[in-house]
Amino acid sequence: MNLSVEQLFQHLWQQYISINPQAERIQKLLNQRGETVINDHIALRTFNTEKLGLINIASIFLNKGYEVIKEYDFVKKRLSGIHLEHTENPNHPKVFISELRTEEFSDELQETIAGIDDQIDKINVMQDLFLTSGRTWNLTFEQYIQLLRESEYAAWTAAFGYRANHFTMSLNHLTTFFKLEDLNDFLLDNGFTLNESSGLIKGTPEQFLEQSSTMAAPVNLEFDHSTHVIPGCFYEFAKRYPMPKTGKLYQGFIAASADKIFESTNR
């Protein structure tokens, strides 16, 4: 199936809110204030195997008019990332894709990921609906816990598979909130839990990007032989600032802030 950009994001959103209904509740609260929510970006996670590497995931977007704008290196989390933007329509969300550098981890972790890779059909990876295929491989809770000891990112990706890890709302497109702080207060007042790792707001106006996020909603997830409650997806909020020379809003990402945002799926 060849989806339009809008259709693809619609599929990703429906799958995302099915395990993260707080995102839909937040959108509804904002709609009640007369707001229209525009997405700044979505984030996708993968492993750097030959089949599942981020460039294969990116190809789905490259075929739909996106281009790779920038590369990122998350040393501490041992991840590589890229961000893509649509060449013609700036209102299409940016896409942030990262991959775990599996060779930098233990043999045991590498074996588990190789096992996942073995169960994937290469033909499927570049299909649109692969992005919303979820987990199509076997995984025991014991394997999940073993991955978790080395990398929260590895454990999350192995457990949830292919889906948006988070959607990010653009604060710049809201009309009743100007400061990220005010949106955070609004969400806290409405009973949502926000990620407080290094403060509620990651990044500064001087870095041209401020971000905050909810903590991931707990999900009752089925493993082989058992079901467990683990952290799922979170909702993110971004305010971008104009750059001095061009006056245009900064469109990149800040590695140090993303590092902290990744922790929104911590237990």
> Please, what is the minimum distance in Å from the beta carbon of residue 258 to Ni ion?
7
Residues 157-176 that bind Ni ion (CB under 5 A): 168
Task: Round to whole Å and give the CA distance between 154 and 147.
Answer: 6
Site string (214-243) toward Ni ion, x via CB under 5 A: ----------------------x-------
> Please, what is the minimum distance in Å from the beta carbon of residue 213 to Ni ion?
8
**By C-alpha distance, which of 204, 199, 201 is closest to 181?**
201
Helices (H), 63-210: 107-118, 122-125, 141-150, 152-160, 180-189
42 is a site residue for Ni ion (CB under 5 A): no
Task: Please identify, using beta-carbon distances, which residue of 112 and 202 lies nearer to Ni ion.
Answer: 202
Give the interface size with Ni ion as a residue count (CB under 5 A).
Answer: 3
List, edge to edge, every strand of the sheet that includes 39-47: 66-74, 79-86, 94-100, 39-47, 166-170, 234-240, 209-213
> Please, what is the minimum distance in Å from the beta carbon of residue 178 to Ni ion?
21
Cα distances (angstroms) measured from residue 163 to each of 44, 92, 97, 121, 129: 7, 18, 11, 17, 10
On whether the CB atoms of residues 216 and 225 are closer than 8 A, the answer is no
> Please, what is the minimum distance in Å from the beta carbon of residue 122 to Ni ion?
28
> Please, what is the minimum distance in Å from the beta carbon of residue 99 to Ni ion?
15
Task: Please identify, using beta-carbon distances, which residue of 37 and 126 lies nearer to Ni ion.
Answer: 37
8 is a site residue for Ni ion (CB under 5 A): no
Task: Please identify, using beta-carbon distances, which residue of 143 and 213 lies nearer to Ni ion.
Answer: 213
43 is a site residue for Ni ion (CB under 5 A): yes
> Please, what is the minimum distance in Å from the beta carbon of residue 263 to Ni ion?
12
Task: Please identify, using beta-carbon distances, which residue of 109 and 238 lies nearer to Ni ion.
Answer: 238
Task: Round to whole Å and give the CA distance between 233 and 239.
Answer: 20
Task: Please identify, using beta-carbon distances, which residue of 95 and 116 lies nearer to Ni ion.
Answer: 95
Task: Round to whole Å and give the CA distance between 124 and 56.
Answer: 10
Residues 175-214 that bind Ni ion (CB under 5 A): none
Residue entry with tokens 């192995």: 158
Q: How far is CA 245 from the centre of its chain?
A: 30
Task: Please identify, using beta-carbon distances, which residue of 109 and 209 lies nearer to Ni ion.
Answer: 209
Residue 157 φ/ψ, nearest 5 degrees: -65, -40
> Please, what is the minimum distance in Å from the beta carbon of residue 32 to Ni ion?
25
CA-angle at 181, arms to 29 and 17, nearest 5°: 35
Task: Please identify, using beta-carbon distances, which residue of 47 and 253 lies nearer to Ni ion.
Answer: 253
What does the binding site for Ni ion look like in residue numbers (CB under 5 A)? 43, 168, 236
